[in-house]
Amino acid sequence: MTGLVRNATLLGVCGLIFAGVASASVPDPTKSTIGVTGSGACIRVGGKQSNPTLVDQFIGYPITVRDFGNNPIAGANVEINFQNCTDVKLCTAVVSGQTVDCINRSVRVTTNAAGQVTVSVLGAGIYQNPLASPNVQAGTGSGCVRVFAEGIQLGTATALIQDWDGASGSNSFVGETVLDLGKYFGEEAVISSGGGVAQYRGRDDFSPIGNAGAGAINVQDLSFYFTTIGQASGGTGSSNGCRDNAGVIAPYCP
């Protein structure tokens, strides 16, 4: 009888140990972080630099995955899902360490030994039609992007689109240019001064300090978007859009 009790106790302790190990590998949304502190829950969707082997250096989106004990989880499978973002398409060009899943409209990555990973999402908007005041081009509001780790949702983010019309079907629109600025300015003006008539669009909400993804569009957002145009024209932004490393235009996901 004593042996049975001893064995049962041992099995119970082992069970607790294994349970502890298993729970330690489960991501905790309250301990994990997505995005840059102070920037709001927003992710910039961009393209390649003037050198097509390089990605827009300003669109990196940091993610840190931790468990319930605040321990980093190495090798965690992370998914950035755009299924609810109706005004953006993902680029199929390969970024090192990332996988594009067109069927599920997702970008997938894996965390490093510190439980961290920085994602650079290549994509563009589907803007086609002229602005029809007092309305704006159809699209999503805030929080259309969902971020998962090991299947657990860590949070949501608003998709800010650098290249408004690159995925509209015309190769002449690939890349962020002053033409995008003109379209952005028109829509931003309608939203910020429309007296509540025009609906908020998350893609416009570029101001990163206490405003991005917060549901407010104003001149501060226009100023920050203008900055991204300068980055693109300077060669370090999204001037080349959706291209492979050889500079050939790559297709967008359906």
pLDDT at residue 16, as a whole number = 41
What dihedral angle (degrees, nearest 10) is formed by the CA atoms of 14, 18, 20, 23?
Answer: -160
32 and 70 Cβ atoms separated by less than 8 Å: no
Helices 178-193 and 219-233: angle between axes, nearest 10 degrees: 170
The domain segmentation of the chain, as residue ranges, is 25-233
Indicate whether 1 pLDDT > 50: no
pLDDT at residue 17, as a whole number = 40
pLDDT at residue 187, as a whole number = 87
| 61-82 as b/e: b if 16+ CB within 10 A | bebbbbbeeeebbeebebbbbb
pLDDT tens string 55-90: 999 999 999 999 999 999 999 999 999 999 999 999
Q: Alpha helices, DSSP H only, in the chain?
A: 2-24, 178-193, 219-233
Lowest-confidence region among 87-101, 109-123, 186-200: 186-200
pLDDT at residue 128, as a whole number = 75
3-state secondary structure 54-110: CECCCCCEEEECEECCCCECCCCEEEEECCCCCCEEEECCCCCCCEEECCCCEEEEE
Exposed / middle / buried, residue 84 (Cβ in 10 Å: 0-12, 13-18, 19+): middle
pLDDT tens string 148-195: 999 999 999 999 999 999 999 877 788 999 999 988 988 888 887 765
| 26-54 as b/e: b if 16+ CB within 10 A | ebbbebbbbbeeebbbbbbbbbbbbebee
Q: What is the pTM of this model?
A: 0.87
For the residues 113-122, what does the mean pLDDT come to?
98
Band (145; pLDDT cuts 50, 70, 90): very high
Strand partners, 14: none
Lowest-confidence region among 13-22, 116-125, 212-221, 243-252: 13-22
Lowest-confidence region among 31-45, 73-87, 90-104, 125-139: 125-139
pLDDT at residue 37, as a whole number = 65
Indicate whether 38 pLDDT > 90: no
Indicate whether 140 pLDDT > 70: yes
pLDDT at residue 196, as a whole number = 56
pLDDT at residue 18, as a whole number = 38
Instruction: Please tell me the distance from the alpha carbon of residue 237 to that of residue 180, in angstroms, as a whole number.
Output: 13
Q: What percent of the chain has pLDDT over 90?
A: 63
92 and 242 Cβ atoms separated by less than 8 Å: yes
For the residues 95-107, what does the mean pLDDT come to?
97
Indicate whether 203 pLDDT > 90: yes
